[in-house]
Amino acid sequence: MSRSTNIAIFPALWTMVILIILIATITAPAMAQDPDTAARPPGLASTPPGTAERLEAVMQHIVERFPGRIGVYAEHIESGIAAGVDPDSPYGMASTYKVPILVEMMARVESGEWSLDMPIDLTVRDQHIGSGLLADLWAPGLTLSLKNLATMMIILSDNSATDMLIDRVGAAEVTARMQSLGLQNIRVDRTTLELILDYNGIDYEPVADAPLAEIIAYREQVSMTSEEVAAAREMFYEGPEDKATARDMTALLIMIAEGRALEKESCDVILEILERTRTGANRLRGLLPPGTRLAHKTGTIGRILDDVGIIYLPNGLGRVAISVFTLADEPDGERAEAAIADLARTVYDFFVFNAPATEKPQ
């Protein structure tokens, strides 16, 4: 390179360097604020610290990041402090509707009509598709107590156990029980078999009382286009059946926790079973401190992914009832679970720092 070429290039380089420095100097303050602005939920600064409004602002921020809809409502049982986002819209309960079914079952026990040790035989017509264990066992050949059947329904979300119970108590009776408790926005309409078939646009009546092998064969021989399946699923999501609001589900959990849904002894049985739930490790429980006591029930079908339960706070700070219902725009279990876990941890942290102590720490 010649000396004349160097003389021509260097001034241009210096001009470019100076321009970059000037741009960086002008934009640096704004750039420095971006991470802080992105991390701060809109409106958070205007909400007083330690208030339900502050909690709700953070919850809203989590909900807005989710690609879909979320209904959430959380209430500190001892103080009544509560917050939520879209708490009064109906959402699909999926398997969280097994909590109302369990309440109705315990009402029958409480009345003396049934007993928890009442034996129930598993038959081939009791085995249904979906989650759980009973459909994989040999029938006849197994007898379960009523309490064990209810435990299977909750801790493994066993659909066969659920339908054995709902056939006995009746869906309409479960809804009537909820209404008698003042919960007008919890309705149970279908068995899990009917619910799953409706989700896939398959007629339920031909296999309403069929053994599992016939149900599977029937489902496999039904021919539907992808467009027909998609249309059936949209009808499923938009329909009114088997839906609840987050506010009413949380109210039911509080009634159970306080021994008001039924007699305290019956409610204690419900809580004992809910605490043994094995599903949903990445939902309400996902970000809670290890060992946190939790009584809950999950639900999943298609774009619906839910978790409802009671979180027990440490050091005598009481309990929080929380219901989170999600409907994603597209099937995305990981993001739905992450949103539920974020909401649960946000609620947990808020009440750990702000809830009044309800008893002396152990």
How high is the pLDDT of residue 309?
A: 98
pLDDT value for 31? 33
Q: Residue 47 corresponds to which amino acid?
A: T
- pLDDT tens for 269-317 read 999 999 999 999 999 999 999 999 999 999 999 999 999 999 999 999 9
pLDDT above 70 as % of the chain: 86
What pLDDT is stored for residue 356 in this prediction? 80
Q: How far apart are CA 71 and CA 45, in angstroms?
A: 24
What is the Cα–Cα distance from 359 to 362, expressed in whole angstroms? 9
Confidence grade of residue 253 (pLDDT, cut at 50, 70, 90): very high
**Over the stretch 148-177, which tens digit does the pLDDT of each residue have?**
999 999 999 999 999 999 999 999 999 999
Structure-model confidence comparison of residues 354 and 37, the more confident one: 354
- Asked if pLDDT for residue 41 goes beyond 70, the answer is no
pLDDT above 60 for 361 = no
State mean pLDDT over 84-102: 98
Supply the pLDDT for residue 359: 61
Q: Is the pLDDT of residue 33 over 80?
A: no
Q: What's residue 12's pLDDT? A: 44
Examine the pLDDT at 28 and tell me if it is beyond 50. Answer: no
Indicate the pLDDT class of residue 216, thresholds 50, 70 and 90. very high
> What pLDDT is stored for residue 47 in this prediction?
74
pLDDT confidence of residue 42: 57
Question: 102 falls in which pLDDT band (50, 70, 90)?
Answer: very high
pLDDT at 259 over 80: yes
Distance between CA atoms of 161 and 135, rounded to whole angstroms?
9
Please check the confidence at residue 37 and state whether its pLDDT lies above 80: no
**Local confidence band at 21 (pLDDT 50, 70, 90 cut-offs):** very low
Q: How many CA atoms lie within 13 A of 212 on its CB side?
A: 18
Stretch 195-217: mean pLDDT? 95
**DSSP for 153-205, written as a single string:** HHHS--HHHHHHHHHHH-HHHHHHHHHHTT-TTB-----HHHHHHHHTT--SG
Res. 3: pLDDT tops 60 = no
pLDDT at 17: 39
CA dihedral sign, ordered 251, 257, 258, 260? positive
Going along the chain from its start, the domains and CATH numbers come out as: 48-354 (3.40.710.10)
Instruction: Judge whether 274 and 252 are in contact, CB under 8 Å.
Output: no
Say which residue, 14 or 346, is predicted with more confidence. Answer: 346
pLDDT of residue 50: 79
Return all residues near 211 (Cβ < 8 A) that are at least 6 apart.
Answer: 124, 125, 127
- Check pLDDT > 70 for residue 67: yes
- The reported pLDDT for the residue numbered 45 is 65
